[in-house]
Amino acid sequence: MNPNAQYMLDMGEPFASGLLEFPEGSLPVVYCRGYRRYYETCPIVYKPGSPVFPAGLTTGMYTDTSTGKTVSVTPQYAPQYSINWDELRKKGSRAAEIMIEFSKIYHYAGEWNHSMLNYKRILAEGINRYEERLLALDDSDFKTALLDLIVGLRSYHKRALEALPQMGAPAELVDALSRVPFSPAKTAYEAVVALNFCLSLDEWDNIGRLDSILEPYHKGEDLRPWLRCIMENMQINDRWSITLGPDYSDVTYQALEASVGLARPLIELRVTDDTPDDLWELACKRVLDGGGQPAFYNEKAIQERLRKRITHLTESDALEFSGGGCTETSFAGCTYAGGTDENINVLKNLENFMYAELTSCSTFDEFYEKFIIFLRKKQDLQMEHINNYWNERAKACFAPIRTLFIDDCIDNQKGWFQGGARYTYSIHSDTGIPNTIDSLLAIRHLVFEEKCYTPEQFLSLLASEDPEFFAVLRSCPCYGVADEKSDALAKDFTTRFYEHYLTGKLDLGLGFFPTAHQFTRHIHTGWVVGPTPDGRKGGTALADSLAALNGKAIKGPTAMLSSAACFEQKDIYGMAVTNLSVNKNCPPSIIRALVTGYFSLGGTQLQITATTRETLLKAKKDPDAYRDLIVRVGGYSEYFCNLGEELQDAVIARTLFN
């Protein structure tokens, strides 16, 4: 063993030691050996009596119980590894220096990259079959490395089987785990055990179509207690989503029921014209119970758009559509969707352009067309940056678990980061577009149509945040009230903006699939933007979805959703998130009507928070009394009390419809 690897092993860092074992090794060899050493030594995490393994928090820094040493270098599904530098430096400056040098070569995956393993195939074939497929390949570092990874997985599996009886595991769990996931699942319980085990290997990221995965094994059992355990593991590990439908089954209903009271996983319900009435009733009840679940997805619109964008998309793969992370489009088991790679702060760009060019433009059309050209140059730079970043990352990162379990990496003999997956594309989310639309409307109305202010006066009053002027800005024509003229500008702007991404090329993928979800970035991207013509004060949050800006949806939810449908969504292939807040006493029939009405207009996705303003204010003041209050944010759900103050205020400020 080379000296650095031996030193890190002596320091109690087996994963880091594995990464360093072959300093001249190829990328697959380096990473797979690191993962093997991790699985040979990582904790066996189990909650006594749980029907699944592992159970509990399984990611991040941990204490090695055999040595008492803190392990500070561990796998991480997005950047590939995680380092707690403070803990590592406690072990000595040499340990930190070694990993700093390693990171210079192997640490390019800084963006978040969600995925779904091919759980259907794993359950149906077993890991042994994956090993057989690898053995059939010609000799290569790729083959050697992934076989090395499987050695590590076998060690982890064996250690778990030895430890579980002493840890209070039920005999049926040990019995099931003795067969799966290396052999095919035969029963619903074995399928659940295998799913949970393999989900943990990808650090609980996303499942995909849970009902479709489990339905072949379901023989009428009550799966809810088992599903609840998987969902609790996802929540404890702060992970992401499951998808339900469109081929509904009893498992669909059980999954919705099992998730009551949980903020994670995010539940994505694919809605069709044939969605049963009783499923609508259950879904609307779940929403109105205040859990923020499920979010609704327009099956017809999504399928039409994705099939048009990906001309070689097969029928079976299209059926596997799921949203990873917040809601980045994937086809479960066969996708690399880089998300979210980068984002343009559109409102900040308007601010910069406005101060540079407004005084020189004689008409709004001139100003508007110049801004479109200006913005497209920013889009071109972003696409160039992402392409270069992907190429560099492909030289420095290898995702062992995803390469093994996502089609067609083995067949192509390429890593997941190297373009091995069947469908590979970049997902990125741009910020502040509803704010930009309202700002353009205010400029058009006040400077060019009504000529209330000269460009110089307009900019001066805006910069000073004059209160009277801001009242005028808030009274201007706006997006979100079904105003035909305003919605026409929204449609033109978003059409031209998103269509431009179709011109971009990726060396390692199909191209660019923009999304429109904000996660939490609408808070910090607002910090760098001064006061803007939409009536927003400097440094405050930007829009968190396609919905009208806070306080502007004065004509009700139907008008707001009508405007949101004019926000051109046909080229937002990574999903377009719309937030809607309603009073918890809203009738279920109204929820259904709002969803189906919006979808009939072409809306893509709708996520609903059911609460009251009074409840939110009380929860902010007395969080201990409202620990179970769940809200929807910018594409995900979260316990309200877990949000930072700025995010809480942004949720409170939303228009809440009665």
Same domain, 499 and 523: yes
Among candidate residues 106, 123, 145, the one where a domain is terminated: 106
Of 378, 512, 519, the residue nearest 436 (C-alpha): 378
pLDDT exceeding 90 applies to what percent of the chain?
86
- Within a domain: residue 128? no
- Within a domain: residue 170? no
Q: Is 367 exposed, middle or buried (0-12, 13-18, 19+ CB in 10 A)?
A: buried
- Around 309, how many Cα atoms within 13 Å sit in the side-chain half-sphere? 27
Q: What is the structure's pLDDT at 384?
A: 96
Same domain, 391 and 538: yes
Among candidate residues 569, 601, 621, the one where a domain is terminated: 569
Calpha distance 206→228 (Å, rounded):
15
CB 633 within 8 A of CB 648: no
pLDDT over 70 (residue 109): no
Q: What is the structure's pLDDT at 635?
A: 78
Q: 628: pLDDT confidence band, cut at 50, 70 and 90?
A: confident
pLDDT over 90 (residue 651): no
Q: What is the mean pLDDT of residues 49-59?
A: 92
* Cβ atoms < 10 Å from Cβ of 283: 27
Same domain, 355 and 489: yes
Q: 639: pLDDT confidence band, cut at 50, 70 and 90?
A: confident
| Amino acid of residue 599 | F
Question: Helices 467-474 and 455-464 meet at what angle, rounded to 10?
Answer: 110
- Encoding tokens for residue 490? 């929204």
Least confident of 115-119, 247-251, 339-343, 430-434: 339-343
Q: What is the structure's pLDDT at 110?
A: 60
- Within a domain: residue 199? no
Q: What is the structure's pLDDT at 412?
A: 98
Calpha distance 325→241 (Å, rounded):
6
- Within a domain: residue 196? no
| Peptide bond between residue 54 and the one before it cis (omega within 30 degrees of 0) | yes
Of 38, 110, 33, the residue nearest 74 (C-alpha): 38
For the segment 404-420, what is each residue's pLDDT rounded down to a tens digit? 999 999 999 999 999 99
Mean pLDDT of the chain: 95
Does an H or E element contain 435, and which?
A: helix 433-443
Calpha distance 615→573 (Å, rounded):
35
Same domain, 376 and 397: yes
Q: What is the mean pLDDT of residues 364-379?
A: 98
3-state secondary structure of 324: strand
- Within a domain: residue 251? yes
549: left (phi over 0), alpha (psi -120 to 50) or beta: beta
pTM: 0.95
Q: What is the structure's pLDDT at 342?
A: 81
Q: What is the structure's pLDDT at 391?
A: 94
pLDDT over 90 (residue 656): no
Query: In the chain, how many domains are there?
Result: 3
Q: 32: pLDDT confidence band, cut at 50, 70 and 90?
A: very high
Among candidate residues 526, 544, 569, the one where a domain is terminated: 569
CA distances from 424 to 284, 338, 391, 513 (A): 35, 8, 13, 10
Same domain, 355 and 259: no
Beta-strand (E) ranges in 67-142? 70-71, 73-76, 80-83
Q: 630: pLDDT confidence band, cut at 50, 70 and 90?
A: confident
Q: What is the structure's pLDDT at 111?
A: 67
- Within a domain: residue 250? yes
Same domain, 443 and 565: yes
Q: What is the structure's pLDDT at 519?
A: 84
CB 106 within 8 A of CB 397: yes
Q: Taking the CA atoms of the chain, what radius of gyration do you get in angstroms?
A: 26
Least confident of 139-143, 175-179, 219-223, 571-575: 571-575
Does an H or E element contain 102, and which?
A: helix 93-106
For 529-532, the CB contacts below 8 A with 24+ separation are 529/345, 529/347, 529/348, 529/351, 529/432, 530/351, 530/463, 531/462, 531/463, 531/465, 531/470, 532/347, 532/350, 532/351, 532/435, 532/439, 532/462
Same domain, 562 and 587: no
Residues 6+ apart with CB under 8 A from 45: 54, 55, 56, 57, 58
| Amino acid of residue 625 | A
Buried b or exposed e, range 137-151, using 16+ CB within 10 angstroms = eeeeebbbbbbbbbe
Same domain, 393 and 538: yes
Return the higher-pLDDT residue of 72 and 342: 72
pLDDT over 90 (residue 152): yes
Containing structural domain, residue 247: 220-327+577-658
Q: What is the structure's pLDDT at 67?
A: 84
Same domain, 441 and 562: yes
- Backbone phi, psi, residue 79, to 5°: -75, -5
Residues 6+ apart with CB under 8 A from 330: 114, 115, 116, 206, 208, 321, 322, 323, 324, 337
CB 602 within 8 A of CB 487: no
Same domain, 454 and 542: yes
Q: What is the structure's pLDDT at 520?
A: 85
Residues 6+ apart with CB under 8 A from 126: 180, 181, 182, 183, 184, 185
Same domain, 563 and 603: no
- Encoding tokens for residue 154? 């076998």
Q: What is the mean pLDDT of residues 549-561?
A: 92
Q: What is the structure's pLDDT at 552?
A: 92
3-state secondary structure of 299: helix
In this structure, the strands spanning 266-271 and 241-244 are: parallel
- Within a domain: residue 355? yes
Q: What is the DSSP letter of 537?
A: P
- Encoding tokens for residue 322? 């799921």
- Within a domain: residue 396? yes
Q: What is the structure's pLDDT at 578?
A: 95
Residues 6+ apart with CB under 8 A from 216: 124, 191
Same domain, 271 and 412: no
- Encoding tokens for residue 316? 């079976």
In this structure, the strands spanning 70-71 and 62-63 are: antiparallel
Residue where the block lists tokens 């790729």? 142
